């Protein structure tokens, strides 16, 4: 008889790598590289970054992949530079110029525009985006030469600041925004409103809640360890960069439980939470025993019901 089929190859390593993704490097490519470096069984990312963008790409390994949705929903912070004078079909440096202007906006005009883009706004995603239209990705249709109608959607801008105007045709911004916001669309729409057109010249993500730029690890710091000949030493050095799986849930309510309760949860059973401070009703809660993540679930009428359970 042969061995078991379908068994995961690699180490059952779990945790987060908060990668400082370089430009001209795809998000999927980055996940594959990290999975290979760590010899991990599973890996996934929480929020795609365009290849031309750099910065914070949260990559989950092993059990941490179960927490990806909670990071995907987190607020994002971007630094971005808009170049005035031309609109491009991709809304970044890569595309063809579709409209141009000799006008350049005054700093006061740019600042006056920002309140209109703060709060809940309507936004049309770029033609070159991953939005699905009749089952097809918008960027696939755009590359095929089609101009497609993409419906506008509500997105939330929590903070939007003009940082600098280093040249007449450049403006640098910082934006803190909710899920589904396209920064390329902001650049396009700013340019249209100001009558001078615009596109993204530089884009860098510096935050995906609950992670920040302080958590970022440059890819070069990880790949430099490939030179270590000893497998065990190399993997130990890589693992030192991992952030605990539970850190992804830092913005959710947390309850500490006993070992007996943890055992019940790992068997798939609900538990009763007693005590004066025990919450009665919560949609998303994470529970730990001895500081280790046991489960994510919901509390109803003082009972915790697990949705995702984590290994011993």
SS3 of the chain: CCCCCCCCCCECCCEEEEEEECCCCCHHHHHHHHHHHHCECCEEECCCCCCCCEEEEEEEEHHHHHHHHHHHCCCEEEEEEEEECEEECCCECCCCEEEECCCCCCHHHHHHHHHHHCEEEEECCCCCCCCEECCEEHHHHHHCCCCCCCCCEEEEEEEEEEEEEEECCEEEEEEEECCCCCHHHHHHHHHHHHCCCEEEEEEEEEEECCEEHHHCEEHHHHHHHHHCCCHHHHHHHHHCCCECHHHHHCCCCEEECCHHHHHHHHCCCCEECCCCCCCCCEEEEEEEECCEEEEEEEEECCEEEEEEECCC
Q: Distance of CA 269 to CAs 255, 262, 295, Å?
A: 17, 10, 11
98 and 166, same structural domain?
A: yes
Query: Tens of pLDDT along 200-244?
Result: 999 999 999 999 999 999 999 999 999 998 999 999 999 999 999
Q: Find out whether 266 and 294 touch, Cβ atoms under 8 Å.
A: yes
Residue with tokens 């779990």: 14
What's the token pair of residue 255?
A: 């309850």
| pLDDT confidence of residue 264 | 94
Domain containing residue 286: CATH number: 2.30.130.60
**Residue 281 reports pLDDT greater than 70:** yes
Q: Compute the C-alpha angle 23/248/274, nearest 5°.
A: 175
Which residue, among 151, 98, 87, 144, has the nearest Cα to 125 in the 3D structure? 151
In a domain, 226, yes or no: yes
What CA–CA distance (Å, rounded) separates 268 from 295?
10
Q: What CATH number is associated with residue 231?
A: 3.30.2350.10
Find the domain containing 49 and state its range.
Answer: 15-74+211-245
Q: State yes or no: pLDDT of 262 exceeds 70.
A: yes
Query: Within this chain, do residues 179 and 217 fall inside the same structural domain, yes or no?
Result: no
Q: Are residues 70 and 215 in the same domain?
A: yes
**134 and 182 belong to one structural domain:** yes
As a whole-number percent, the residues of the chain with pLDDT over 70 amount to 90
User: Residue 210: which of 49, 66, 74, 39 has the closest Cα?
Assistant: 74
Mark whether 92 and 186 lie in a shared domain: yes
Which of 83-87, 101-105, 178-182 is least confident?
178-182
* Same domain? 274 vs 129: no
Cα separation, 201 vs 187, in Å, equals 9
pLDDT digits (tens, 9 = 90+) for 166-182: 999 999 999 999 988 99
**Span 175-194, average pLDDT:** 96
Assigned domain for 4 exists: no
Is residue 31 domain-resident?
yes
Task: Give residue 280's pLDDT band: very low, low, confident or very high (50, 70, 90).
Answer: confident
Selected residue with higher pLDDT from 78 and 253: 78
Mean pLDDT of 258-269: 93
Query: What pLDDT sits at residue 243?
Result: 95
Look at residue 50 in the predicted model and tell me its pLDDT: 85
- CA–chain centroid gap for 245, Å, is 15
Please check whether residue 200 lies inside any domain of the structure. Answer: no
**Residues with catalytic function:** 50
Unique residue bearing structure tokens 């919450």 = 279
Q: Are residues 174 and 227 in the same domain?
A: no
Of residues 10 and 97, the one with the higher pLDDT is 97
User: What's the pLDDT at 152?
Assistant: 87
Asked whether residue 178 falls in the same domain as residue 234, the answer is no
State how many domains the chain has: 3
Residue 278's pLDDT is 73
Percent of the chain with pLDDT over 90: 73
- Overall average pLDDT of the 84-97 stretch: 93
Most confident residue range from 48-52, 79-83, 94-98, 249-253: 79-83
| Most confident stretch, 4-8, 159-163, 275-279, 280-284 | 159-163
Q: What is the pLDDT of residue 130?
A: 58
pLDDT band at 3 (very low <50, low <70, confident <90, very high): very low
pLDDT at 99 over 90: yes
């Amino acid at each position: 008889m042969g061995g078991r089929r379908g068994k995961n190859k690699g180490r059952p390593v779990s945790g987060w790598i908060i990668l400082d993704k370089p430009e001209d490097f795809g998000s999927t490519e980055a996940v594959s590289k990290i999975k290979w470096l760590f010899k991990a069984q599973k890996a996934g990312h929480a929020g795609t970054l365009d290849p031309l963008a750099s910065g914070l790409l949260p990559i989950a390994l092993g059990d941490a992949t179960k927490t990806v949705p909670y990071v995907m929903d987190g607020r994002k912070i971007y630094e971005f530079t808009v170049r005035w004078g031309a609109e491009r079909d991709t809304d970044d440096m890569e595309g063809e110029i579709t409209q141009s202007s000799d006008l350049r906006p005054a700093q006061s005009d740019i600042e006056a525009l920002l309140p209109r883009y703060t709060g809940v706004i309507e936004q049309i995603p770029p033609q070159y985006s991953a939005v699905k239209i009749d089952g097809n990705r918008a960027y696939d249709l755009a590359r095929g030469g089609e101009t497609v109608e993409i419906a506008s959607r509500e997105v939330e801008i929590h903070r939007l600041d003009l940082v600098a105007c280093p040249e007449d045709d450049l403006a640098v911004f910082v934006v803190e925004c909710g899920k589904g916001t396209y920064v390329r669309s902001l650049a396009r729409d700013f340019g249209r409103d100001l009558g001078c057109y615009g596109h993204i010249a530089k884009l860098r993500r510096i935050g995906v809640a609950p992670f920040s730029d302080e958590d970022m690890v440059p890819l070069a710091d990880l790949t430099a360890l490939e030179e270590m000949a000893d497998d065990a030493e190399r993997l130990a050095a890589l693992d030192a960069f991992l952030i605990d799986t539970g850190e992804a849930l830092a913005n959710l309510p947390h309850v500490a439980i006993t070992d007996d309760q943890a055992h019940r949860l790992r068997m798939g059973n609900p538990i009763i939470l007693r005590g004066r401070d025990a919450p009665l009703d919560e949609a998303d809660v994470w529970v730990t025993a001895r500081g280790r993540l046991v489960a994510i679930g919901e509390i109803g009428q003082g009972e915790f019901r697990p949705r995702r359970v984590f290994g011993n």
